[in-house]
Amino acid sequence: MIYIRGKVDKLQVAGQVDISEPGVEDRKLLDKFVGEFVESFPDLGLNKEEILKGDSSSLRRKSKRPYAKIVRLRNDLLFIL
């Protein structure tokens, strides 16, 4: 599972990848991990709510190596779980 802040176009990933919006459980997981990250690096001055607001996408695999052909994603935060 990969979570990306922002929208991902189907043209940016291989056909072996499903793109969707994170569900309730996904958002809980993101809230936990982003919170831990922000607390671990206070000198960066990051704000958890700012990071989590707005659109986000979930990438789920359809095959064994689905992410092998991810060409380019924007300079958004990327979480690989």
* Count: domains in the chain: 1
The proportion of the chain whose per-residue pLDDT surpasses 70, expressed as a percent, equals: 78
d(C-alpha 30, C-alpha 32), whole Å: 5
Q: Which of 53, 65, 80, 81 is nearest to 13 (CA)?
A: 65
Range of the domain at 41: 2-80
Tell me what pLDDT residue 81 has: 45
Report which of residues 16 and 33 the model is more confident about.
Answer: 33
**CA distances (Å), origin 70, targets 17, 26, 33, 40, 51:** 9, 21, 23, 29, 23
- What single-letter DSSP state applies at residue 4? E
For residues 68-72, give the mean pLDDT: 54
Lowest mean pLDDT among 20-24, 50-54, 65-69: 65-69
Residue 2 parent element (H or E): strand 2-5
